[in-house]
Structure 1
Amino acid sequence: MGLLDIFKTQWSGKDMTPEDRQKMFWYLKRKTSYTAWKREADAFDRFADIFEKQVIEEPHADGLMEGTDWDDRYPEILKAQVLFEQALRQLGKGDRTVFLYNSLGLLRDASEIAQSWHSELVNHGPQGDHFYDGKYVEAMTEAIAEFFLCSDDTGYFQPSMSGGAAPEFWGDWMKKELVRVCISPDLVEVPEPEIPTLVKTGEEVPVYGIYEPQTKDGCMNYLLAGVPAPLLWDADGTSRKFDVTWRLLWEDIRYLDGAIPAEESNYFPLETKVAKSAPLVVNDDVLSALSGTTCPKSGIWAVLDDLNGRLHVDKGDLLPQHNGRDVTWVHTE
């Protein structure tokens, strides 16, 4: 070991083992993968299919109170499907801005709509007093519960609000989480960049990727480019938060070639496998089109970000602007 090596940043463990560290690296790559997010979007599509049957067969369901107007709620479901579709298309080209918590964060917006329906149907709303009428309510509830399970396997650990701490840390909960997950037996060594990229809490994260806090048993997080690096939760579970220096281990440049890495075929081994280097497939079930383009199908079209804006457009006509601006239109019926 040379003299300079003494001053190099490096991981050190107390309760965390080198194998734990390998599992954590794999776990973060899976949670932020195209495969995991596509799996979540597909689960929501299955829920949306049942929702559509409810709208078609019983748009207004009578009940003890005023009943339920499902057709009024359907545009929100379509909006989530379009957001998932657009986000997956962008992520499939390596565009990770869809992860952000701002106007570019399409995946977060789509997921929040879907999560709200889990709250409504499974938990009966924030106060537990929301109940819905309809012949497919039970089937929808089961489908959105399955979606919720898939959503546990997506995400990233960067906090949503400025100044927040990294929401996960090494401790009993994370150990149990790694036991729950079916982790690949073919774990790779955690990368050790020769030239360290360091960013302190509050400084702007330079690139998307997996970073490790430079503290004993520091738990890796997936950080988002262009936003402040977070505080760190204390690994002893005391909820203490403190400033830390994060070191980049792995820059996320997946999908820039339009292909899914072969390792993703092992992310969900009990489900349909993703072929090595298979082209990315985007769900085309939801019709959407931009202002100024030719309408692909006659019917009622709604503005994606203003679903009160609806009009009938015939196939072949140009989709107009809305309130003087170009918008994305979604076919609703």
Structure 2
Amino acid sequence: MNRESSFDEHMQKKVFWLLQRLTSYSLWVRKRDAWKIFADAYENAVKTWPASQSEQMPADNLPTIYNILSLYNEGLQALRTGDRSVWRSDGALNIAVSQYYGVASFLYPNADYWERGVQQAPYPAKVEALNQLMRASEFHGDAAPLESQRRESAFIGGPGFLLNPRSYQYGFHTLAYPIFPEVLPEIPEAKDVLVRSGQTVPVSGIWEPVHVERDRILGLIPHGSARIESAGCFNYFVNGTAAPKIIGRYIEATERFERVGVHWRLLWEDRRYKDGIVPNESEYFIQPKSPLSQPDEDVGPINAYDVCPISGWWEAVGHSQSSRHISAGELMPDLSVRDAKGEMVSHLVAWRLSRPD
């Protein structure tokens, strides 16, 4: 199958793995456990922070905070048996995430730091400590399986949403970038299951948007076998939800991106936990490795958004005059190149070590 050139095999494997990670029982357990720590710390702050200090946490948040914890427990009990309706609009985990963003928006509604649900300045140290505990329950992209009645197009519009480190950086906080296993799982052969945008998704799993074309007799009547070509990035859908459209080209007249109807083809049916067994999912939470020793020869190529193994000067393959210093443990960058129109465009490149420190 010919997938779009900007979504190469290496990126496909990463997106596929990330979607499995974001919908794993173990990740949602971690969300719940982190929320429990935050809930206890928030209640303690409400009860013990002296009234004389300027920093005060709204006690009105407490009922919602503990309701979210209850929703996590309810949802995890169902997910452990393979019930993914917990991510439907009326499901426990969907409601928990929705209420989470309400708490996050009103965590510290002090006019010096906050306006209309948006943080405007760095929080005071004590408040920021609570904020960090709260954000520990959030994983970038964890809304991937959630049903939304307001969403007009697929949640993941392109691989950069999950793979670009800048996507993990928000106004005043940054979410942890995942560490990938050394060997990523292969992309399975697509199943003979297709649904069109607007139709009901028959099984939970990872789906790929595709264009389906048939040969035409005299250019009018479709006939013969279909040609199927990729139309974009993988997404995770829960059975019973409506297959979405994808984002197309930008329409200057409306100053909006068009929404394009497509077919979605099943890549992988999610049957995890239906037997009541949670397998070892520790690969989803790999800890950073210590920097490698310096090499005796050139290292590379290392793809953009992979972890830099060696501190030194690196050069983008196929791009002269691109040498830059990158430290071990940092993520390899993309490269901005001026196109034919003179505009700077980001390219996902591979890097080769030219001179170690």
- TM-score range, shorter-chain basis? 0.5 to 0.7
Query: Take 2:275 and 2:103, find their aligned partners in 1: how far apart are those partners?
Result: 35
Q: 1:191 aligns with which of 185, 188, 191?
A: 188
Question: More helix per residue: 1 or 2?
Answer: 1
Query: Take 2:198 and 2:247, find their aligned partners in 1: how far apart are those partners?
Result: 15
Uncovered stretches (5+) of structure 1, i.e. residues with no partner: 1-9, 272-333
Q: Which residue of 2 aligns with 1:233?
A: 247
TM-score, length of structure 2 as denominator length: 0.61
Matched, 1:78 2:66: yes
TM-score, length of structure 1 as denominator length: 0.65
Query: Cα distance, 1:186 vs. partner?
Result: 1.8
Matched to 1:187, the amino acid is L
Distance 1:78 1:99, change over 3 A: same
Distance 1:221 1:68, change over 3 A: closer
Q: Which residue of 2 aligns with 1:206?
A: 202
Q: Deviations over 1:62-110 (max 9, x none)?
A: 6779x7662x4422221111111111111111111101112xx111211
Q: Deviations over 1:16-55 (max 9, x none)?
A: 2122211111111111111111111111111101122134
* Aligned-residue identity in percent: 30
Distance 1:112 1:40, change over 3 A: same
Q: Which residue of 2 aligns with 1:25?
A: 16
Query: Take 1:236 and 1:31, find their aligned partners in 2: how far apart are those partners?
Result: 29
Query: Cα distance, 1:255 vs. partner?
Result: 0.9
Matched to 1:232, the amino acid is I
Q: Which residue of 2 aligns with 1:146?
A: 136
Whether the 8 Å contact between 1:54 and 1:136 is mirrored in structure 2 is no
Query: Take 1:175 and 1:217, find their aligned partners in 2: how far apart are those partners?
Result: 18
Query: Cα distance, 1:154 vs. partner?
Result: 2.1
Query: Cα distance, 1:141 vs. partner?
Result: 2.6
Matched to 2:134, the amino acid is I
Query: Take 2:249 and 2:29, find their aligned partners in 1: how far apart are those partners?
Result: 32
Q: 1:218 aligns with which of 232, 238, 249?
A: 232
Distance 1:266 1:236, change over 3 A: farther
Query: Cα distance, 1:176 vs. partner?
Result: 1.2
Query: Take 1:157 and 1:234, find their aligned partners in 2: how far apart are those partners?
Result: 22
Q: Which residue of 2 aligns with 1:90?
A: 78
Whether the 8 Å contact between 2:180 and 2:286 is mirrored in structure 1 is no
Q: Within 5 Å, which residues of 2 pair with 1:235-250? A: 239-250=257-268
Uncovered stretches (5+) of structure 2, i.e. residues with no partner: 169-176, 212-229, 289-357
Q: Which residue of 2 aligns with 1:312?
A: none
Query: Take 2:266 and 2:125, find their aligned partners in 1: how far apart are those partners?
Result: 52
Whether the 8 Å contact between 1:192 and 1:249 is mirrored in structure 2 is yes
Matched, 1:182 2:185: no
Matched, 1:54 2:45: yes
Query: Cα distance, 1:15 vs. partner?
Result: 2.0
Query: Cα distance, 1:226 vs. partner?
Result: 1.0
**SS of residue paired to 1:170:** coil
**SS of residue paired to 1:222:** strand
Distance 1:157 1:256, change over 3 A: closer
Matched, 1:167 2:155: yes
Matched to 2:184, the amino acid is L
Q: Deviations over 1:195-232 (max 9, x none)?
A: 50110001111011111111435211101211211001
Figure out how many residues of one structure are paired with residues of the other and give that number. Answer: 252
Matched to 2:65, the amino acid is I
Q: Deviations over 1:135-172 (max 9, x none)?
A: 9645423322333xx33252315661266100222254
Q: Which residue of 2 aligns with 1:35?
A: 26
Question: More strand per residue: 1 or 2?
Answer: 2
Q: What value does the CA root-mean-square deviation take over the aligned residues?
A: 3.4
